[in-house]
Amino acid sequence: MSTETCPPPTQKTAAIIGGSLGGLAAAQALHQNGWQVTVLERAPQSMSHKGSGLGYVNVAAWESLCQRPMWRRGRRASRAQGSFYYGDLWAFLYDSLPPGTVQFGTTITEIGHEEENSQPENDVSSKSSETSLPVVLGKSYDLVIVANGGFSSLRRYVLEDQDVEPTYAGYIVWRGSIPVKKLPPSLEAQVEEGVYKDGIYDTIVLKMAKDNGEDLWTFGTFIATPEEEVSRYWDKARDGVSRHGSHKKGEENTSTTSPEWFRQYFQRHFGQVPGLVPLVDATIESGELKPHPQFEFGNIDTVCRGRIILLGDAAHMASPRTAVGAHTAILDALALREAFRDTMSPSNDPSSASIEHAISKYNPTGVQRAQELYWRSRQVSRQFVP
């Protein structure tokens, strides 16, 4: 009987472009499989104090991914404590990774390939990209994951001739939040969580619980808006980069006044809801009302090309009304961990441990999640557009 054993595998390397929830989740998945992971994030610093609230978080899935319990305010996390704060969830993923995994202040605009040194910089159609290692900032990696948001310009390296731009969904979500401590007790007693509807107009109200003990009321109201009017409230070049915390200081949308019609709109459609109009008035006065035009993406036939994978919003961008955008990114990461489980394990069957084999396992599930979320978003969005 042969006693020959397989030699230990060489540690694989991955560059993950984008350090929001999807990117950090992907880093966690590969790290647990023994990979050396580098996350390249354009934000200059931690995003633990950025973002808004998430109404749906499958705590068990997050705990499974990070292999540790999630705590909020000294207790095991649950939705009963309030909606989840993006910054706290980001910190949960970040703290689960080895120190130094994330390189902040790093913007990536190109992905090269080892065998393409003589190719034009913007040539993404070379056949060598199917077999050669991807190169980021002059360094070769065994795998590159593009997770830099719904407006990613890097998805062209995977989708090539397909349309890589997200499609405007026909409406703007005007979002706002205000700390409970800024509201008079009489108003705080009136406001309740819920979904309030008037025809095609929706307003969602949630109470958000930060891990630091601060409670906030947060809301979003969905308003149909012709695409040609979006530029009045939102600048794609400035704001259409990522959803959380990637603006440089001084570049964010600094508008602190609502349109003149907004208060009248809210009074007309939601004036009958106890406490809601005063809550919105207080939010406007504090300068925390912001427009978020909604875009959708995900009707694609692949999320992988060669050694490059699209993940998170770069693969599927959906309306927040689906409530599962971030959740789908976590599902992406869990599927990635499963598909790549054998890539660092000695095996008598080399094909089962190959990166190409892992990618071929991941791709169909990634496409399915992207398409399902896209069509769910399209269905949801129809109710907000006349």
Mean pLDDT by 10 residues, the chain (386 residues): 50 96 98 96 94 91 97 93 95 97 96 68 51 92 97 94 89 94 92 94 94 94 94 79 41 58 93 94 90 95 97 96 95 97 66 83 98 97 94
Task: State in Å, rounded, how far the first CA of the chain is from the last one.
Answer: 74
d(Cα 334, Cα 163) in Å, to the nearest integer?
A: 27
Rounded Cα distance between 324 and 92, Å, is 18
Tokens for 28?
């966690």
Measured in degrees and rounded to the nearest 5, phi and psi for residue 274 equal -55, 125
**DSSP label of 275:** T
Residue 44 near residue 349, CB atoms below 8 Å: no
Q: What is the DSSP string of 75-129?
A: EE--GGG-BEEHHHHHHHHHHTSPTT-EE-S------EEGGGTTS-TT----GGG
Dihedral of the CA atoms 53, 56, 60, 64 (nearest 10)? -60
3-state secondary structure of 260: helix
Check: CB of residue 210 under 8 Å from CB of residue 88.
Answer: yes
> If you ran DSSP here, which 8-state letter would residue 18 be given?
-
Neighbour order of strands in the sheet with 143-146: 102-103, 36-40, 13-17, 143-146, 308-310, 304-305
**Which residues pair with residue 204 across a beta bridge?**
195, 220
**Residue among 77, 119, 93, 114 nearest 37 (CA):** 93
> What pLDDT is recorded for position 11?
85
Write out the E strands in 187-316. 194-198, 201-209, 215-224, 289-296, 304-305, 308-310
The H or E element spanning position 143 is: strand 143-146
For 295, phi and psi rounded to 5 degrees? -125, 155
Q: Residue 148 has what DSSP assignment?
A: S
Residue by residue, DSSP assigns 165-214 as SPEEEEEEEEEEEEEGGGS-HHHHHH---EEEEETTEEEEEEEEE-TTS-
